[in-house]
């Protein structure tokens, strides 16, 4: 096992500190209202330290979205059907959705940023958030195609269904963040999967 250099570890920790502060500032003020001054005050660092890690407000915003996308990709993977010891596909799917939704909802600043950033008057930030959601929609589409290939799903149109599912997920995240219901994440996921995979008709 390769030991991590203490200096590298300190740099990684400082970068995480700046990202966490920036995420909170973007969540509170929106992209347009956020400033580098507010980020460095929140992170309790010098302005020069910020610029050692990020060139601009846009760069730190991009890094937050890139990290979120990488974390989500790590939680969405192909359902295992060839391993006899693997849980049933439906159980694997439920576990993945719970883990993914919990990741977003438990990081309240991230959830708030993702829900509000699309309303920014800054064209570049709006395009970046649209790109983020486009990549999430593509992840869902590929997951649906995988489900079709293993016979887990009925015949569907992956492009259309992935867009519909993304809209539902955004609505559910908004409800959970605003605490508009008293359901647990597990209960929310069960309802979401019931609607997404089986519809609402009896």
pLDDT tens for 149-169 read 888 777 888 888 889 888 888
Specify if 72 maps to a domain: yes
Torsion of CA 176, 102, 150, 191, to 10 degrees: -30
Question: For residue 7, is it within any domain?
Answer: no
Indicate whether 51 belongs to any domain: no
Q: Is the pLDDT of residue 20 over 90?
A: yes
CATH code at 112? 1.10.357.10
pTM: 0.84
User: What is the per-residue pLDDT across 80-113, written as a single tens digit (0 to 9) for each?
Assistant: 888 888 888 888 888 988 999 899 989 999 998 8
Split into its structural domains, the chain has a count of 1
Q: What is the pLDDT of residue 202?
A: 41
Q: Is residue 182 part of a domain?
A: yes
| In a domain? residue 23 | no
Whether residue 135 has pLDDT greater than 50: yes
Q: How confident is the model at residue 118 (pLDDT cuts 50, 70, 90)?
A: low
pLDDT tier for residue 36 given thresholds of 50, 70 and 90: very high
Contact 65, 154 (CB under 8 A): no
- For residue 89, tell me if it sits in a domain: yes
Six-digit token string for 159: 């492009």
Residue 126 belongs to a domain: yes
Q: Is residue 28 part of a domain?
A: no
Domain that holds residue 117: 57-198
């Amino acid at each position: 096992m390769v030991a991590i250099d203490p200096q590298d570890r300190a740099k990684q920790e400082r970068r995480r500190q700046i990202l966490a502060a920036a995420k909170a500032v973007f969540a509170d003020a929106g992209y347009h209202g956020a400033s580098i001054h507010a980020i460095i005050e929140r992170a309790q660092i010098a302005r020069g330290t910020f610029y050692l890690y990020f060139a601009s407000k846009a760069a730190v915003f991009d890094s937050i979205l890139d990290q979120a996308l990488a974390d989500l990709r790590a939680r969405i993977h192909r359902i295992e059907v060839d391993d006899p010891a693997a849980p049933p596909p439906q159980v694997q799917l439920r576990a993945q959705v719970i883990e993914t939704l919990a990741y977003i909802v438990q990081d309240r600043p991230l959830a708030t940023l993702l829900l509000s950033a699309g309303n920014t008057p800054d064209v570049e930030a709006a395009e970046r958030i649209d790109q983020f959601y486009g990549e999430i929609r593509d992840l869902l589409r590929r997951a649906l195609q995988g489900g079709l290939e293993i016979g887990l799903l009925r015949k569907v149109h992956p492009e259309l269904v992935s867009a519909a599912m993304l809209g539902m997920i955004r609505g559910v995240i908004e409800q959970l963040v605003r605490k508009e219901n008293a359901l647990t994440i597990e209960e929310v996921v069960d309802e979401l999967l019931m609607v997404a995979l089986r519809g609402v008709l009896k």
